[in-house]
Amino acid sequence: MFDTATETAADGQAGTQRHCDAIVVGAGLGGLYALHRLRGLGLSVRVFEAGSDIGGTWFWNRYPGARCDVESMEYSYSFSNDLQQDWKWPERYGTQPEILRYINHVADRFDLRRDITLNTRVRAARFDREAGLWTIETDRGERVSAPFCVMASGNLSTPRVPDFKGLENFRGKWYHTGLWPQEGVDFTGQRVAVIGTGSSGVQMIPLVAAQADQLTVFQRTANFSLPARNAPLDPARERAHKEQYEARRRAALDTPFGIAGHPAPTKAAWEVSEEERERAFEAKWAEGGSISFLYSYTDLLVNKESNDTAAEFVRQKIRAIVRNPATAELLAPKDHPIGTKRLCLDTNYYETYNRNNVALVDVRADPIQEITATGLRTRDREYGPFDAIAFATGFDAMTGALREIDIRVADGPALAEEWEAGPRTNLGLMVAGFPNMFIITGPGSPSVKTQMILAIEQHTDWIADCLSHLRANGYRQIEAEPAAQEAWVRHVNEVADSTLYPLANSWYTGANIPGKPRVFMPYVGGFAGYKKTCDAVAANGYEGFALRR
């Protein structure tokens, strides 16, 4: 317990405490673990969640085919060995319903729900330096104060429907993958448009094609996709994994992506013959999975010529799968190095374009101008009629959810204003000028470039250790020092600039949102090195952070 006046409202309802030790924003995988971990320190915690239930990403993204692109034995919490031993994943990659079931199991197993307020969006957060308190305000008018605030609001949690003229005139139904109706959508017998071919579109398109009468896919940028090779989890493989679970989790901490089991490459692509490269890529293609493919050689994400060999391998696969050569050429990405946009994993994505109820439209050459009553209009022609439009158009990634909250210290500038030219953080964990506010997997941390749950656990553990340190030493405030933050931002940029990532117009750089500043947001220096830096900062008495009594 921190030494601030603790007063609990007496109206007896669950979730009416006005003051607690820590406020957590978001009840996805990040917020739930933060609640569990901070509660373990003896702190009183309140979690606010905008959704009508817990789960975050896995609550909202219910579109057909929604599935994690990291294998389920990896994409799960490691903090409880009993939990990871007990839980049985049915498939190699978890589906959205399965992951949501897991999250609910975790919430029940660790008795998390009693401190979570659902259906409540945090609108504002104000810090009073003198009192040392954050006060948050919700869309239901509730105000709650706490010395610490943990933002677990997610990296891909602000869905974005492009600002197309005329959407309000559309007489059919429209959906966004990240706001999919809870009850699901039956496209049987319908003429459907899907706009967007990122991970969500690539996962959804084969299922919609199989159900709908006709499907028209509107593609602005072709994306690279690899076969997932999903399958029921082999019991022998599961047993072997579980026997070594704890060792594998420890090993994952020493990898760049936070995932164990992929031996680090030892050679650069240019060091080997073309035949050897083809054999290696072929083996990875057959094995399935994106990390293992990008991990074929040491230099695929730093050397354009090496990357070209992998990109061309996939383009040739697309040309071999898709029977119509013009469609195949449209689907074969040529404008960015492979892996510099999120590499998609699919089940029968390219094969879907061989169906005679599926058409592909290039809206790079001929952009969408307007949604009409019955369909849509590009510069050159009209498409439709459609019964439904599914927007798989992505998110205001990494900063969207934080920028939507009016976060400020007293009457100072809002975080959104401070970040007008792009987010600036120290280690992705804290922002100079915003004391006692932590971000879980914030911009400037490895976050989306790693196994997210491992990144969440690492951040939360660091925050929990930090709070213990403050309490043990009588400190009440911690704040990122501006110089340390500038040095970290410089480092994040230098690392990104030494790779091929900035060559792509991706949500990693904010390029998918008109007007958003172009800044490479995740840290791509690798999880292992990043964790060492965080640990060293803590071991040196939170070097780069000002602690105040």
Catalog residues that contact ligand NA7 under the rule CB under 6 A.
Answer: 156, 162, 177, 195-201, 218, 220-221, 342, 363, 368, 392-395, 507, 512
Task: Give 154 or 544: the residue with its C-beta nearer to ligand NA7.
Answer: 154
Comparing CB distances to ligand NA7, the nearer of 69 and 115 is: 69
Contact between 163 and 195 under an 8 Å Cβ cutoff? The reply is no
The answer to whether the CB of 354 falls within 8 A of the CB of 323 is yes
User: How far is the C-alpha of 242 from the C-alpha of 248, rounded, in Å?
Assistant: 9
Taking the complex as a whole, the smallest distance from the CB of residue 198 to ligand NA7 amounts, in Å, to 2
Nearer to ligand NA7, 145 or 200 (CB): 200
For ligand NA7, which is the closer residue by CB, 392 or 454? Answer: 392
Report the residue number whose CB is nearest to ligand NA7: 198
In angstroms, give the least distance from the CB of 197 to ligand NA7.
4
Residue 469 burial (10 A CB sphere; 0-12, 13-18, 19+) = middle
Give CA–CA dist 532/525, Å, rounded.
12
Please state, in angstroms and rounded to a whole number, the distance separating the CA atoms of residues 516 and 512: 8
H/E stretch holding 319 reads: helix 304-321
Nearer to ligand NA7, 100 or 156 (CB): 156
Question: Which C-beta is closer to ligand NA7: that of 295 or that of 395?
Answer: 395
Q: How far is CA 449 from CA 8, 33, 339, in A?
A: 40, 20, 11
Tokens of residue 65, six digits: 């085919």
User: Closest approach of Cβ 535 to ligand NA7, in Å?
Assistant: 27
Residue with smaller CB distance to ligand NA7, 73 or 156? 156
- The arrangement of strands across the sheet holding 148-151 comes to 116-117, 45-48, 22-25, 148-151, 437-439
Kindly state the smallest distance separating residue 538's Cβ from ligand NA7, in Å.
Answer: 29
Residue closer to ligand NA7, measured from CB, 60 or 462: 60
The nearer residue to ligand NA7, 17 or 219, going by C-beta atoms, is: 219
Q: How many CB atoms lie within 10 A of CB 547?
A: 17
Strands 477-480 and 545-548: antiparallel
CB of 370 to ligand NA7, least distance (A): 12
Q: Could you list the beta-strand ranges (E) of 315-445.
A: 344-346, 358-362, 368-371, 376-378, 382-383, 388-391, 406-409, 437-439
CA distance 98 to 454: 19
Q: What phi, psi does 438 have (nearest 5°)?
A: -105, 150
- Alpha-carbon gap, residue 60 to 72, rounded angstroms: 19
Quote the least distance from Cβ 389 to ligand NA7, whole Å. 12
Least distance in angstroms from the C-beta of 395 to ligand NA7: 6
* Shortest Cβ 68–ligand NA7 spacing (Å): 9
Provide the minimum distance between the beta carbon of 221 and ligand NA7 in the complex, in angstroms, as a whole number. Answer: 3
* Burial grade of 523 (CB within 10 A; 0-12, 13-18, 19 or more): buried
Q: Which CB sits closer to ligand NA7, 135 or 340?
A: 340
> For ligand NA7, which is the closer residue by CB, 437 or 452?
452
Rounded CA-CA distance 542/265 in Å is 34
Least distance from ligand NA7 to the Cβ atom of residue 318, Å: 16
Residue 34 or 195: the one with the smaller Cβ distance to ligand NA7 is: 195
Nearest distance in Å: CB 136, ligand NA7: 27
Nearest-approach distance from CB 259 to ligand NA7, in angstroms: 14
Tokens of 436: 């006692």
- State the DSSP string of 175-223: EEGGG--TT----TT-EEEEE--SHHHHHHHHHHHHHSSEEEEEESS--
The answer to whether the peptide bond before residue 181 is cis (omega within 30 degrees of 0) is no
